[in-house]
Amino acid sequence: MKNDLLREKFFLPLFIFPLIYIIGIAVVEVFLFLYLIFLFLNINNVESLNKKILIILFLFSAYIGVNAFIQIPSSLKYSSIFHFRYLLFSIAVYFFFEKYSQIKFNKNFILSVFFGAIIILLFDSLFQFVVGENIFGQKLFKYRVSSFFGDDLILGSFLVRLLPIIFWYLFYLRIDINLNKFYLTVFFSIYFLVIYLSGERTSFALLIGFILLSLIFISELRNILIKCTIIFSIFIIFIAVLDLGKTDITHRMFHKTYNQVVKQNIITENKTEYKNDNFIKVIKSVNVFSNHHKGHLIVAKNLFKENPIFGVGPKGFRHFCRLVDYDPEEGICSTHPHNILAQTLSEIGLIGLFFYIVFITFLVKHILLIKKNKDDNKFESISFLVISIGLIIHLFPILPSGNFFNNWISSFIYFKIGLLLYSHNRLFSK
């Protein structure tokens, strides 16, 4: 009995790992270190992991390390060389769930802690939207809801990255969606709304992408996602019509996006009017990226042209963009090119692109395989599908994105890869 309690206490931190981002990246690094220790204590379990996947992951990690050591300046070198810790972390996550998969723990307690923390975050976000400041007095920043993240406007990014993990946990714990339909519908409707209120247009687009792909490939989620989408849409219309809250969120999410994408607007002092133009011209003028983001892409293109095979090195964009001959009126130097594909090509070159394509192909192949061959293991099949769709969405090459080599984004991605490895082993090792 005592052993079970100790195991459950040890299990809980990993289960709630994604929530510690709210505290700060330093705590995330501490957790990474602790679970790397766990990995080395259980390294004998490596035999259970698919060898092909393991080889690909290690080759990618080794390439990142060697590339960083050779190409980038010493100020950036060591943080990039040690990027392999995230790969080890994903393997640790895999081993952890593999080791404790048979433990009978109190799933109600775990779910209460996990969902309780998220509910507090959602409540605080709504409170900040309505009142103008959150429960700790943190005011709206640039008219956008940020909750406990303060001036760091990553609430939407955090929630959209967390979403597939939530669904994975639900199916891992064998939670019957239909039996808890009402509570989950309310929860996810508010969850989607808060992503919208964060004002992060990319996160909102990724949310729509996740919903659409889930509707196509995961029939078990269709009912609840359709209901959530309808309720969530009503919320948006209600906010827009009544002009609720202390933000100009409707203008940012719709008017500004239209202005950017279509480029057919006339801005006056207090309102936006739109030119009447024919459909063909409108289509030709479609522009996914803002001028600011296009500037980053121009720099990334120049960097790639000069270093097509290996790129300029992981995190090298921030250094080498200042040295490349580009049009200063168009090109914009930054810490990263704000697009996963542009970052891959400019920083790790065609070799990096090869690994990117291999990984995406792996995900798509297995999604189609599961969809075609209805597996009897319902919960594990859905777990694999939802985490695969989550990874595809977050590695989507068209939209603006965060820095792949950023600590919090990398740990989030590799945490999902750990869950993916576990689900893959459960489904395909037999």
183 Cβ neighbours under 8 A, 6+ residues apart = none
Token match 């969405």: residue? 393
Residue 260 has what pLDDT?
61
Task: Give the integer Cα–Cα distance in Å for 203 and 187.
Answer: 18
8 Å CB contact between 14 and 93:
yes
CB neighbourhood size of 283 (10 A) = 9
Residue 200 has what pLDDT?
87
Residue 38 has what pLDDT?
73
8 Å CB contact between 32 and 414:
no
Write the CA distances from 266 to 256, 262, 281, 348, integer angstroms: 12, 12, 16, 41
Domain boundaries, given as residue ranges, for the chain: 1-104+308-430
Residue 265 has what pLDDT?
42
Residue 151 has what pLDDT?
81
Residue 430 has what pLDDT?
58
Q: Give every residue of the chain whose pLDDT is below 50, as ranges.
A: 1-2, 246, 264-277, 279-286
Q: What's the predicted TM-score (pTM) here?
A: 0.86
Nearest to 141 by CA among 203, 197, 190: 197
Residue 93 has what pLDDT?
86
Residue 206 has what pLDDT?
93
Give the helix ranges, DSSP H, for 268-401.
Answer: 279-284, 291-306, 317-320, 340-372, 378-394
8 Å CB contact between 424 and 418:
no
Write the CA distances from 333 to 49, 299, 316, 408, integer angstroms: 41, 7, 11, 22
